Chain A
């Protein structure tokens, strides 16, 4: 089998999918391959902060500027993926107010709107804050649902002619003189290998960028930085809470649906896979974030997870395409003499659209066309999912149907509709697209029910308990780092159910 594509995009994170949409809106067809599901890498493994740019205002004004301008654009084009909560930068007595002054000046310079709140005003709005705080600066931070954002981009891209192949891995890049002819890929479900011939190839594989380039014999220097995060059982604050000091471990608390996310750490890694959250990181995050919200000391944690930030290590030369220290757009024509290969890496979820725009501009330039970008003005197809918590509770009315997930109030009908609408290849794909297993019991009850439903709808037949065990292993990675207190009690329950009652 052979597929022909004008542009081949490797990587289904926010950037890859963003490029796919950008090109599609410019009328350029593309094929995207992704070895897992959408947003399996850093796009789906971050704290979900919708940056105002405040976090970079002092240290990296250029990145801050990018953030605030993308912030304004995304509010317009993807309102359903964003919760406009605002954020506080709180000053604590141990740091004093020196940094706050620099922070306020820096924000003003890059155009981030700030409001200074007194201690009492801040506590009035966020009663869980450390009562010793000196003041808070309000900035237009928010919370973003990365998965909804990526899905929205993918949907729009496909509607405009892009092709997206999930669970399809790249095996090799076939070089032909000064060009890459295409890629040999493998469908991980059918097991089939085939060739994708392409005029242009975009490597948007994030932390895997160097690994992908190795397939063409062009390794680049990447540094991998692990960032770990903890999820609390309940939402601690309405707003994003940042600590007003130079960036450090455990200085941010982001609300997300029913939970809050405590972040982050920064630890250098050698390998892009097989990483875990260490007990030390867990303790560090609790210790630091509880300085902002003391209740965190005793609060219930439900999961720990980590993502890898792809950091590009600047090379002595050929680095001229670096648009900012935030992200790197590499034209391999200039660097390695390969005319039709481009790598985009680094950056952050917040600037995915900008990264996609710049990458698509480069491809257009190579193609000799001059269609302008329109992703900054065309809204994403609106997801019909209501986002507010109250709204979800309201749906849970007296004439509701069965609720599969008690913790996140996910109804059976909702999951059924999803299963009927979309072709999902595996179990994790389903979990990605709903909030099933994201709540207190982390799927302890609802995943059994989801299996039941899949059998009922004949989506799975035969012996499926191997998959269930696989899920429980995956779940284990997330809960093992936080197993004490209430979570430890719950562990005994869930283990007793699956190893006991169900004898798995």
Chain B
């Protein structure tokens, strides 16, 4: 099969690349070994969370780009970063839309009772950012093991309750089980009434982030109406229902646009001729299928996604075998302490690119002419510490694809 563009990787950067290309009417294949980390780690859209709350993101980015010329953001540029983020936002029209608080980082409560800086948040989390302005009640559900109301409330110095419901069968209930139940009116009624009974002057209700997968706004509205207080979602341990909402929305839109969505099988081989990629093979034992395209986007993620792999000796990129400059030996990958002031060195490792996101070697020589690289696999960022995960994925996914289509 032949396509205009083949995207390797189904995380946020790959999806964003597919959206960008499909939006321009290209024939796109997106192939993912797995589903990426959206449904695990993404709840909100971080852009540069490590910056204080009081500075506008645009100014943050401006300064950041000045200070970090090699950083992916610097290669995208301020203007295109905003364009890319807007492109992402356009996929989420109201009611379930994303917004900022005054174009600055805001603080949202987390499942560990900490406050976490982030940038774009779904409407379902907005009330959480003004936690100190009201009196909040944190609600947990008996039988659900991935969120603890008292734990969160103790750190945030508010009250926590555990709601126990007869609708919840005895046994272990999972995030998706609850997320689904939340979309049942009878369940919402019961839980709403139960919470209302527990109210003691609180006007804000913090709830684990599982207010339904398909129509969270409806769930939130219904709950608020019954309780008589504002409800907000608190992100917690994976899986992440807010992340699933993002994935599902992309998938729905992309399939609608005719993008071929190939989830579940790894790229087992690429065919190179000179500085060109001529095709990929997708392995599905015992069959391998060949696909080819004019251009390719590599958005395969870091270690978790399989974009990078580490043996006891070295780190490598398994698909195109692009060079990965790295510390001399394994001893230099990680610091002695887990929590360190400067990030673990391994997190800066990645693929070097030119300003157009094409892979280059250490001397700056172009390695492949029709391959562009996007997302967390890129070098010179450390998205965990910078709190820039989604920002890097969205902006590089967008801009690398724009460059590829030029």
Contacts and interface: CB of A to CB of B under 8 A. Distances in A.
User: Is there direct touching of A and B in the complex, by C-beta distance under 8 Å?
Assistant: yes
Interface of A: 279, 282-283, 286, 398-404, 412, 445, 448-449, 451-456, 458, 460-465, 468-469, 472-473, 475-476, 480, 483-485, 488-489, 491-493, 495-504
B373 to A, nearest CB: 18
Contacts of A445: 237
Contacts of A496: 37, 40-41, 304, 384, 389
Contact of B171 (A398, A484, A501): A398
Contacts of B11: none
29 contacts: A283-B312, A399-B171, A402-B145, A449-B148, A451-B151, A452-B147, A452-B148, A453-B148, A456-B148, A456-B150, A458-B150, A465-B113, A472-B339, A475-B338, A484-B312, A484-B330, A488-B310, A491-B303, A493-B304, A496-B304, A496-B389, A497-B41, A497-B238, A499-B384, A499-B385, A500-B384, A501-B116, A501-B236, A502-B110
Contacts of B144: 402
Interface in B99-121: 110-117
Contacts of B333: 483
A489 B304 contact: yes
B334 A480 contact: yes
Given A398-B171, A501-B236, A449 B338 contact: no
Given A483-B333, A496-B384, A399 B170 contact: yes
A267 B23 CA distance: 63
A485 to B, nearest CB: 7
B155 A476 contact: no
A502 B384 CA distance: 11
A449 B151 CA distance: 10
Interface of B: 37, 40-41, 43, 110-117, 140, 143-151, 154-155, 160, 162, 170-172, 235-238, 240, 302-304, 306, 309-312, 329-331, 333-334, 336-339, 384-385, 387, 389
B317 to A, nearest CB: 14
Given A399-B170, A454-B151, 11 more contacts: A452-B150, A453-B148, A455-B148, A461-B154, A463-B155, A472-B339, A483-B310, A484-B311, A488-B303, A497-B41, A501-B238
Contact of B303 (A463, A473, A476, A492): A492
A503 to B, nearest CB: 4
Contacts of A495: 338, 384
A404 B144 CA distance: 10
Contacts of A282: 312
Nearest to A502: B112
Contacts, number: 147
Contact of B40 (A453, A488, A493, A498): A493
A503 B334 contact: no
A279 B312 CA distance: 9
Contact of A501 (B110, B162, B170): B110
B171 A401 contact: yes
A479 to B, nearest CB: 9
Given A402-B143, A448-B237, A465-B155, A501 B41 contact: yes
Contacts of B336: 480
A449 B111 contact: no
Contact of B172 (A401, A451, A462): A401
Nearest to A412: B145
Contacts of B236: 501
A311 B389 CA distance: 51
B112 A455 contact: no
Contacts of A488: 303, 310
A503 B234 CA distance: 13
Contact of B339 (A399, A400, A473, A489): A473
Contacts of A279: 329-331
Given A399-B171, A480-B334, A503 B143 contact: no
A482 to B, nearest CB: 9
Nearest to A282: B312
Contacts of A462: 154-155
A464 B310 contact: no
A485 B338 contact: no
Nearest to B376: A492
- Top 4 closest pairs, chain A to chain B, by CB: A452-B148, A476-B338, A503-B116, A502-B112
Contacts of B112: 448, 451, 465, 468, 498, 502-504
B304 A469 contact: no
A484 B331 CA distance: 11
Contacts of B150: 452, 455-456, 458
Given A480-B334, A492-B303, A501-B110, A456 B151 contact: yes
A492 B43 CA distance: 17
A175 B236 CA distance: 57
Contacts of A451: 112, 148, 151
Contacts of A473: 337-339
Contacts of B338: 472-473, 475-476, 495
A388 B172 CA distance: 23
Nearest to B160: A455
Contacts of A480: 334, 336
A480 to B, nearest CB: 6
Residue of A283, A460, A468, A492 with highest tally of chain B CB at under 10 A:
A492
A454 to B, nearest CB: 8
A272 to B, nearest CB: 19
Contacts of A463: 154-155
A117 to B, nearest CB: 33
Contacts of B312: 282-283, 286, 484-485
Contacts of B303: 488-489, 491-492
